[in-house]
Amino acid sequence: MSKKFFRGRITHLSMDIRSFLEQNEHQKLAFFGTIFKNDDGEFMKPYEAIAEMHAALARGEKVMSFGNCDNFDPVTGCPGHYPPYSYEL
């Protein structure tokens, strides 16, 4: 039996900033403590994260990236990447 290799396209997740801010306050507060970190690696307080998202909207950004995407567009998101390696199935 021959080995099969899969070289798939990776697309990093993103979040629509305006939609997130429009959600109700209870959902936002529960979410803030798990994903938003400052430059020091510490979790942001809810008001800090909200201020950062409003600043991003003011800069014309529409989406935020989850993860480290080297080709992320703050308006359209990750265009997708093909990894330099293959996965053996």
**Domain-embedded: residue 17:** yes
Report the pLDDT value the prediction gives residue 76, as an integer from 0 to 100: 92
Report the pLDDT value the prediction gives residue 70, as an integer from 0 to 100: 84
**Domain-embedded: residue 73:** yes
Q: Compute the distance between CA of residue 16 and CA of residue 74 in angstroms, rounded to an integer.
A: 10
What is the count of structural domains for the chain?
A: 1
**Domain-embedded: residue 60:** yes
Report the pLDDT value the prediction gives residue 86, as an integer from 0 to 100: 57
The parent domain of residue 16 ranges over 9-82
Average pLDDT, consecutive stretches of 10 residues, N- to C-terminus, the chain (89 residues): 62 88 68 75 84 93 87 90 64
**Domain-embedded: residue 4:** no
Residue 57 Cα distances to 18, 23, 43, 63, angstroms: 8, 16, 21, 9
3-state SS, 13-25, equals CEEEHHHHHHCCH
pTM: 0.70
**Domain-embedded: residue 89:** no
Report the pLDDT value the prediction gives residue 8, as an integer from 0 to 100: 73
